[in-house]
Amino acid sequence: MCHLCDETLPAPGRLRRQLLLAGTGIAALQLAAPAAFARQPATLSFYHTHTGERLRLPWMPTQAGSGDLLDELRHFLRDFRTGDSHPIDPALLDILLRLREATGGQGTYEIISAFRSPDTNEMLRSRGNGVAQRSLHMEGRAIDVRLRGVPTGRLREAALALQAGGVGYYPNSDFIHLDTGRVRFW
């Protein structure tokens, strides 16, 4: 007797058992799938609106290593006004990846602002643009973006639903602010 297919059962009982086993296998694959896909690198594409530079990089959620990759990202997201750079919080890219998946977006992230030097931050504050004195941009923990193909209002709603950090919405300038600080919005 085969324990997996119960050959001693009449044909309808054998079929029912096989379908039950097949269904259990499919359910197990569905439960394992998110973990398997989380280990697959995704490609994030960026276009910096101020420098005209482009960057495509493979990214895996919570990827903290890859020195060369993070160095390339650090340079790309530098303060375009001063050329200063700072390490970028990898959790910020995790948020961008999750946000793209949540919206079904396949486009390129357009970078408005990422790292800001203290001098740049103070200059923007003095212009009265609502810039925080202790902005997370100065710590490499904030980014201002839009995602091609996804309306900015929809991008904001998806970011709020993630509950992954701060979300600011600037509809007149057509971008959102994301950061890895506490959950809040404006």
**Rounded Cα gap, residues 162 and 178, in angstroms:** 11
Q: What is the pLDDT of residue 63?
A: 58
Crossing angle (nearest 10°) for helices 152-162 and 90-103: 120
Distances (CA, A) of 27 to 16, 31, 35, 89: 16, 6, 14, 36
Is the pLDDT assigned to residue 21 strictly greater than 70?
no
Residue 142: CB partners within 8 Å, gap ≥ 6?
92, 114, 135, 136, 166, 177, 178, 179, 180, 181
- Does the domain at 41-185 match CATH 3.30.70? Answer given as no
| Amino acid letter, residue 58 | P
Is the pLDDT assigned to residue 22 strictly greater than 80?
no
How is residue 94 written in tokens? 């995790």
How is residue 76 written in tokens? 């790309």
Chain segment 119-147, per-residue pLDDT in tens: 999 999 999 877 888 999 999 999 999 99
Pairwise pLDDT comparison (105 vs 23), residue with the higher score: 105
Contact criterion met (CB below 8 Å) for 175 and 163: no
Chain segment 26-83, per-residue pLDDT in tens: 333 333 344 444 456 789 999 999 999 999 988 876 655 567 888 899 999 999 999 9
Q: What is the pLDDT of residue 163?
A: 97
Domain ranges of the chain: 1-40, 41-185
